[in-house]
Amino acid sequence: MKGSWLNKGLMVVLASAVLAGCTSRPAPEAEQTSSLKVMFSDEGYFFQQYGDLFAMEKPNIEIEVVSTNRIYRDNPDGLVDYNKALEEFIEKEQPDVVMLNTETYERMASEGKLAEMDTLIERDKYDTQSIYPALMEILKDKGGGKLYGLAPTFYGNVIFYNADLFTKYGIEVPHDGMTWQEILDTARRFPTDGDTDTRVYGFGTNYGMTMEQLASNIAATQGLKFINTDTMQVTLNTDSWKQAYKLAMDAIDSQAIYNPGDTAFQGGSMEDYYKSQLFLMGRMAMTVEGPYMLQNLKDVQDRVNDYKPFQLGAVAGPVDPADPETSRNIFFNDIFGIRANSPNADAAWEFIKFVNSEKFAKVKSRTMNGGLLSRMNVSKEYNGLNLDVFYKLKPSLNSDSSEDYTKIPEAFHMEYYGILTREIQLAQDKKKSIEEALQTIEDESQALLNKAIKDEAAEKGSDDGSTAGEADDAATSGESGAESGTADNTADEVSVTVE
């Protein structure tokens, strides 16, 4: 009896010791709360697009958003050097996750300011096989052969067309890899008769296109610059720019291009708004737009009474004939990277892994409001359209840097567009030739640019000690240059019915 009692007592003591040991252990890693500071353009939009979903997935990671909108708020008179302002912002705020475009991504990677991700991907066996290959290629190229960020979405344009109109008028439907010359030649094959409330147009945008806007679109596809930001020379009076404006003028003169002018939508109900969008209403044969067009086509069916659906097609393009495999209309503006030496690198990687995951992509595939998904295997169609068309072209590695244009003084732009608008209108009214108009724009704009550079340098001089001579050198240096090309594609048309 006594031995039995002792044994039972010993078992109770041992059990108590085991329980005490369990309760004294630290909480598992997953239950510990960690913090994460994310740099993004706008706090509300961040949580709408990314933060709320991540909070459901990882409730133990608390996110603080530092908005880059503060950069503009703190510089109400305009930014002289956005890159410098951004660098100072990051240094001050010390975010763990940074949201970058391709230019800032490339610069920060080259300066060692981003954590390398290849080792993290290999360590966690994180699957990147279904991510848009062209995206991975450009991120590694901009990272000097290594990966320093991932982008869950991107933006790109394609040529949408109304297959029913092509059938009605016996015109061959568009094909992948069309140039602007081909697009506008095709547009001119559609009839131009009829009143403004019923006639069809061969090409346009929902808001219409002026001659200057069309020429700018043509030039953008070919990578033409109106200013060489290395030499600060205005470069409009060149053969390539003349050809772009000549092509645009001929198209506008043909009346095949939708340009409502003063009759454009000025306000009204949502139904009135949608009725003013001629491609949506089946009165425009072709347009070049992004994925949001698919969302609009879906919405219009619920907004307009007695809406008549049409067969929608889409092909990759437009392309620069000099580089038909790539496109300058593909952009990656939400590249997430981890700031080098971040104390919360593990939490930052968890966030980046999630927003680039198939799980996240499946949720986002329900709408087109956030752009195209980098994960290609999640959603193959939207509202009946095969989305492969958006992935056929590669983004151009030589696309013009948007940061180049931050080198141009703010004071230049308003006066420049006044000169441009005046001279192009004279050309369109046949009061000047395109060559004469472009020569005047170049001459007057160069003088304007020189003055703006000199004034800006003088204004900065009191802060950094630069001299008036240096300002003069900056305003008069260089040579006239500038032009390049790029864009697009291969393949078969995609055709579906919008219902």
Q: What is the DSSP letter of 51?
A: I
Which pLDDT tens digit goes with each residue over 90-130? 999 999 999 999 889 999 999 999 999 999 999 999 999 99
Residue 9 belongs to a domain? no
Residue 384 belongs to a domain? yes
Residue 235 belongs to a domain? no
Over 50: is that where the pLDDT of 23 sits?
no
Q: How many domains does the chain have?
A: 1
CATH of the domain at 89: 3.40.190.10
Residue 142 belongs to a domain? yes
| Separation between Cα atoms, residue 362 and residue 350, nearest integer Å | 18
* H or E segment to which residue 381 belongs: strand 381-382
* H or E segment to which residue 112 belongs: none
Residue 20 belongs to a domain? no
Angle CA 252–277–387, to nearest 5: 95
Which pLDDT tens digit goes with each residue over 381-428? 888 899 999 999 988 866 555 556 677 888 898 899 999 999 999 999
pLDDT of residue 468: 45
Residues 6 or more apart in contact with residue 252 via CB below 8 angstroms: 209, 210, 211, 214, 259, 428
Give the domain range for residue 72: 30-156+330-395
Residue among 110, 40, 50, 44 nearest 71 (CA): 40
pTM of the model: 0.82
Confidence label for 465 from pLDDT (cuts 50, 70 and 90): low
Residue 187 belongs to a domain? no
Residues 6 or more apart in contact with residue 157 via CB below 8 angstroms: 288, 289, 290, 327, 329
Residue 470 belongs to a domain? no
